[in-house]
Amino acid sequence: MTNKSDPLTVLLEIKSRMETTVEDDLIRACYQLQSEHQYDKDRDTMKKMWAMVEEVIVGNEDDVLI
């Protein structure tokens, strides 16, 4: 039997191992955006994801994000 892990759980686990300050909510939001639009033919997921990351950076401009 193959043990398959939820990709989001794996991403969050890797993030915790890296000891980075990227917020879990940002990782969840990026994952959700990708999941929702992965089959859209004319998707602009990267632009939307970039905008989400920029919003977090602007909101935390005193902190180091990555």
Q: Which domain holds residue 29?
A: 7-59
Are 21 and 65 in contact by the 8 Å Cβ rule? The answer is yes
Alpha-carbon distance of 8 to 14, in angstroms, equals: 10
Averaged pLDDT score across all residues of the chain: 83
pLDDT tens-digit readout, 18-39: 988 889 999 999 999 998 888 8
User: The pTM is what?
Assistant: 0.71
Residue 54 forms part of a structural domain: yes
Stretch 7-24: mean pLDDT, rounded?
91
Alpha-carbon distance of 41 to 6, in angstroms, equals: 24
Residue 48 forms part of a structural domain: yes
Count of domains observed in the chain: 1
Residue of 61 and 6 predicted with greater confidence: 6
Residue 44 forms part of a structural domain: yes
Residue 2 forms part of a structural domain: no
